[in-house]
Amino acid sequence: MISKKVEDRLNKQIELEGYSSQLYLSMASWAEKSGYNSTAKFLYAHAEEERLHMLKLFSYINDRGGHAIVPEIKMPPSEFDSVYDVFKQIYGHEVMISGSINDLVGVCVDERDFTTQNFLQWYVNEQIEEENLARNILDKLELLGDDKARLFLFERDLDSIIMQNNQTE
């Protein structure tokens, strides 16, 4: 059984993961209509991953005697300045999500809920990967500069990142 405090905080995390999914979806749509097809493919796939992060929390809360609540989710931005802007926002967003997961782990420690703390370890590790991936992509984009023609090379690189990700999952 989880405490009300842990349940509420897990429900808050559901909202954040749901927002992550919507944010990636919105970015995917912008990339698709802007002609960045590989970027769009990467972002659509990531929107699905975020939905799975959210669903994993639903099962956990309900299995532990709580009640997972479907949250109201605020509208994400729909316009972006560039592909660089998209990944810069992603990096900032993932750093914020990591902070939220860490706070949540802190709440579990305070409540002496070591089962939930253990469950959350998966999210702690996932956030290391998410931040690294966004940081690596940003580094690539910084090297390429603003040159639109070079974004073609970036898109090709992204295709291989997608393939590598699929192989490791």
Q: CB-wise, 7 or 94, nearer to ligand OFO?
A: 94
CB of 148 to ligand OFO, least distance (A): 28
Which residues, at least 6 apart from 113, have a Cβ–Cβ distance to it below 8 Å? Answer: 2, 3, 6
**Contact in structure between 97 and 126 (CB atoms under 8 Å):** no
CB of 23 to ligand OFO, least distance (A): 8
Q: Return the half-sphere exposure (C-beta side, CA atoms, 13 A cut-off) of residue 1.
A: 2
The residue ranges that bind ligand OFO (CB under 6 A) are 17, 20, 50, 53, 94, 97, 126, 130
Q: CB-wise, 3 or 100, nearer to ligand OFO?
A: 100
Q: Which residue is nearest to ligand OFO (CB)?
A: 20
Q: CB-wise, 97 or 105, nearer to ligand OFO?
A: 97
Calculate ∠ Cα 160-29-42, nearest 5°.
15
**Contact in structure between 10 and 107 (CB atoms under 8 Å):** no
Q: Where are the alpha helices (DSSP H) in the chain?
A: 4-33, 37-63, 83-110, 114-144, 151-168
CB of 64 to ligand OFO, least distance (A): 20
CB of 20 to ligand OFO, least distance (A): 3
Which residues, at least 6 apart from 120, have a Cβ–Cβ distance to it below 8 Å? Answer: 101, 104, 105, 108
Q: CB-wise, 9 or 53, nearer to ligand OFO?
A: 53
Residue 23 CA to residue 29 CA, distance in Å, equals 10
CB of 36 to ligand OFO, least distance (A): 20
Q: CB-wise, 6 or 97, nearer to ligand OFO?
A: 97
